[in-house]
Every structure is written in C-alpha cells, then in structure tokens.
Amino acid sequence: MIPRELSINSIEQVYKNLKSFINVTPLIKANNLFDQIFNTNLYFKFECFQKSGSFKARGAINNIISSEKKDLQDGITAVSAGNHAIAASYVSNIFNLKNKIFLYESANPYRVNICKNYGANILFTNATNAFDEVINAEKEGYKFIHPFDGIHTLQGSATLGLEIANQIKNLNTTIDNVLISVGGGGLISGIGSALKQIFPHVNIVGVEPYGAKGMTDSLKGNSPLSKVKIDSIADSLCAPLHMPYSYDIARKVIDQMINIPDQDMIDSMMFAFKNLKLFLEPACVAGFAALKKMSSLKLKNQNTLILLCGSNIDYQSWSQIVKKNQ
C-alpha cells in the first residue's frame, strides 16, 4: 500500500508548490525508426532538461520549501557523486543558503565546476565515509538533503511520475512499461508511487548495472543492503547503500529489475548521440540497454517509456568513455 504522503492528492499539492521552481520537461512519442528497432511504441521523457540537469532538482527543492525557516538558518548539506550535489548547490544558490556539499573524490571535474559555479562550499570524501561526513555536518546545524531517501525527496520524484501521467493523458493514450535507472532507489520509488495509482497496470522496470546492483540484491534478500559492492562507469547509479524508507516503497512498486553490463550503456551512449543528437551520461541511457534485453514479443503493440533522467556530462568526459571502450 502506498503511504498517505505519496497519495495522488499529496503529490498534486507538492507539484503545485514546485511548479514555479522547475521545468515541465518534454515527453514525446519516438519516431517509427525507434519503434521498429525496439518492437514497441516508444516514448521518451526528457528529464535531462530539468533545472540542474537532472531529476534531482525536484527532491532538493521540495526539501527546502517544505522546511521551516529555522531549520535552514545554518544551511544545508548533501553528499553525491555529482547530480544530487549539483541540485543541492543549485537550491543553495536560488534560496541563498549556506552549504557543505560533499563530493566523492572520483567526481567528474565538470560536475565539480558546475557546483562551484553555483557558489557551493565543496568538500571531498569517499563512498565509505560520505554519510558519516553529513552526519557530522548535521551536528553542526546543517540540514541534510538526502539524495534518495525521505518523504520530501520521494515526493519530489513522485511529481515526475505525475507529470508523466498528465502528459501521457494529453496524448490520449496510456502507458504499459516504464524503464527507470536505479541508484539509491528514490527516483523509481517516487515515480512508481504516482504511476501505479493512475495506471495500475503499468509495468515498472528498474535498471541497474551489474557493477552496482544494490536494489536487485536488496529485493532478492528482502532487506535494504547497508553496503553495496560497486564497480561501474555509471557513477550516478553507484549508491553505496540502500535506505529502509525508499526501499520499502520500491519493493511495492517495482515489477521487474534488469541488470546490464557497462558496455551496453556505452553502446547506448553512442546510440543516443546518433539518433537523438544528445550527449548523455551512462545512467541516463541505461533504459535503452535494458529495453534490448526485454522480450520483443511482450512489448509488441505496447506503449513503453524510457526516462532520460540526467545529462551532467561534458563532451570530453563523454568521448573518453566511448573511445576507451570501443
């Protein structure tokens, strides 16, 4: 059962509160070439055009506007491989908040520079110590904006599900399958919560790399993993652990998990560039790789949506990944 804070009425109210701060990102029907390649009626949701370059802005902003002023007076703190750090830096800038933004030492320099351009106070850490760092910052008075857990973060993600449903309805159709990249699980939990209430039949498909399949293993073990073994180029999907709240929602809304090798994401980066003319990060194109693994017979005559969730990658980094693995 979906909790009350993620009911459609609650999500609609959150969406009203957020709309002046976010982009309503495009959802389009793919052309017939894509339908023929994947043997399904394919749709794209371009959340890569969201403020801060990814869906993370929704949760970050909702955390801020849902907080009391006194809880923000000492500033905010966040930890991330990149996209959430950018979103937290962005909201710190637009709401004029002090901040401590913890980035992994391995973070892409391009993402680091985006954070700096928003005026972020950046501190570097590693996946092992990351969450201990933000706990210490909380003790100093900073409000922790969680990257993939907590009511307000998931409500932000849920507005994306609501937006997808509204746009699909405006096209006078329905949706049968939605493919969503999974890192910590906050995105798929929020989107799934909204879509399952509007389109009960929808098949929610989570996509993880073999080198960071924490949600897959958590679901198999019926418990959120406190430590995930990580080895993947898709740094946005490399959550070091899973949390009880988002995991509990995820297990209720996920119908299927698909694991993919890094090479398939690299191939999909090239595919997206050739056919969409976009430079997209590995996590963003994971849905293409997963769709190739799904049964074409099952998908035929069905409507399938791929969520393109983020685009915080520069040409140099994109080309290095692609050329290194060709």
DSSP-assigned states of every residue in 166-204: HHHHHTT---SEEEEE-SSSHHHHHHHHHHHHH-TT-EE
CATH of region 4-55+151-324: 3.40.50.1100
Domain over 56-144 is classified CATH 3.40.50.1100: yes
Segment 54-87, tens digit of pLDDT: 999 999 999 999 999 999 999 999 998 889 999 9
Longest dimension (CA), the chain: 56
Segment 5-44, tens digit of pLDDT: 999 999 999 999 999 999 999 999 999 999 999 999 999 9
Per-domain residue ranges of the chain: 4-55+151-324, 56-144
User: With contact defined as beta carbons under 8 Å apart, do 123 and 142 qualify?
Assistant: no
Handedness of CA 112, 117, 120, 123 (dihedral sign): positive
Segment 159-185, tens digit of pLDDT: 999 999 999 999 999 999 999 999 999
Helices (H), 8-82: 8-18, 32-38, 56-65, 69-72
pLDDT for position 37: 92
Does this model's pTM top 0.85?
A: yes
d(CA 201, CA 177): 9
List of residues 6+ apart from 313 with CB closer than 8 A: 108, 110, 279, 280, 281
d(CA 11, CA 249): 15
Q: How many Å is the Cα radius of gyration of the chain?
A: 18
One fold for 4-55+151-324 and 56-144: yes
pLDDT for position 74: 96
User: With contact defined as beta carbons under 8 Å apart, do 82 and 118 qualify?
Assistant: no
End-to-end CA distance of the chain: 45
